[in-house]
A and B are shown apart, each in its own frame.
Chain A
Amino acid sequence: MALQGLEIRRSSASLRGGGTGLRKMPTVAKYIDTSTCIGCKACEVACQEWNDLPNAQTAGPSHGTYQTLPTMTANFWNLIKFQEVQSPEHGLQWLMRKDQCMHCDEPGCLEACPAPGAIVQYVNGIVDVDPERCIGCGLCETGCPFDVPRYAQGTNKMAKCTLCVDRVSVGLEPACIKACPTGCLQFGDKTALLEAAKHRVEQLQADGYAQAAVYDPPGVGGTGVITVLKHGDHPDWYGLPKDPTVPTTVSVWKRVLHPIGFIAMAAAVFGAIGHFMAYGPKKPKDTSKESGGEV
Chain B
Amino acid sequence: MSELRIPGATSVAGPTAIQVARDREDVVVGNEIVRHRLSSRVIHWTVAVFFFGALFTGMPIWSPVFGWMASVFGGLSVCRWLHAWLGVAFSAAMLVMFVHWMKDMAFDASDRNFNVFEYVRFSDREDPDVGKYNAGQKFFFWMAAATMLVALLSGIVLWWPAYFGQTLRSLSILLHDLSFIGFFVAVVGHIYLGTAAEPGTFQSMTRGTVTRAWAKLHHGRWYRKVTGGRS
A residues adjacent to B (C-beta < 8 A): 13-15, 112, 114-116, 133, 135-139, 141-142, 151, 247-250, 252-253, 257-258, 260-262, 264-265, 267-269, 271-272, 275-276, 279-287, 290-295
CB of B145 within 8 Å of the partner chain: no
* Interface residue from B80, B124, B184, B213 paired with A136 (Cβ < 8 Å): B80
* Residues from chain B with Cβ under 8 Å of A292 in the complex: 2, 30-32, 211-212
* Residues from chain A with Cβ under 8 Å of B162 in the complex: 138, 141, 151
- Bound Cα distance from A249 to B171, whole angstroms: 7
A-B pairs with CB below 8 Å: how many?
148
* Residues from chain B with Cβ under 8 Å of A249 in the complex: 170-171, 173-174
B residues adjacent to A (C-beta < 8 A): 2, 4, 30-32, 61-65, 67, 76-77, 79-80, 120-122, 124, 158, 160-162, 166, 169-171, 173-174, 177-178, 180-181, 184-185, 188-189, 192, 196-200, 202-203, 211-214, 216-218
- Check A114 against B62 for contact (C-beta < 8 Å): yes
* Residues from chain B with Cβ under 8 Å of A15 in the complex: 64-65
Also in contact, A257 and B174, with CB within 8 A (given A15-B64, A276-B197, A295-B203): yes
* Residues from chain A with Cβ under 8 Å of B188 in the complex: 265, 268-269, 271-272
- Bound Cα distance from A259 to B62, whole angstroms: 12
* Residues from chain B with Cβ under 8 Å of A141 in the complex: 161-162, 169
* Residues from chain A with Cβ under 8 Å of B181 in the complex: 257, 260-261, 264-265
- Check A272 against B199 for contact (C-beta < 8 Å): no
* Interface residue from A151, A271, A279, A291 paired with B31 (Cβ < 8 Å): A291
Closest 5 pairs (CB-CB, A-B): A292-B31, A284-B213, A249-B170, A138-B161, A268-B188
Question: Could you pull out 29 A-B pairs where Cβ atoms are within 8 angstroms?
Answer: A116-B76, A136-B80, A137-B61, A138-B158, A138-B160, A138-B162, A142-B161, A142-B173, A249-B174, A252-B174, A257-B174, A257-B177, A261-B180, A262-B63, A268-B189, A272-B188, A275-B192, A279-B121, A281-B122, A281-B197, A283-B198, A284-B213, A284-B217, A285-B124, A287-B211, A291-B31, A292-B30, A292-B31, A294-B213
- Bound Cα distance from A35 to B2, whole angstroms: 94
Which B residue's beta carbon lies closest to that of A285? B124
Which A residue's beta carbon lies closest to that of B202? A295
* Residues from chain B with Cβ under 8 Å of A248 in the complex: 170
Which B residue's beta carbon lies closest to that of A155? B77
- Bound Cα distance from A286 to B216, whole angstroms: 12
Excluding A137-B61, A268-B189, 15 further A-B contacts by CB distance (< 8 Å) are A15-B64, A114-B61, A138-B161, A141-B162, A260-B181, A261-B181, A264-B184, A265-B185, A268-B185, A281-B122, A283-B199, A284-B216, A286-B213, A291-B31, A295-B202
Which B residue's beta carbon lies closest to that of A246? B170
- Check A142 against B166 for contact (C-beta < 8 Å): yes
- Check B166 against A279 for contact (C-beta < 8 Å): no
- Bound Cα distance from A229 to B162, whole angstroms: 30
- Check A283 against B76 for contact (C-beta < 8 Å): no
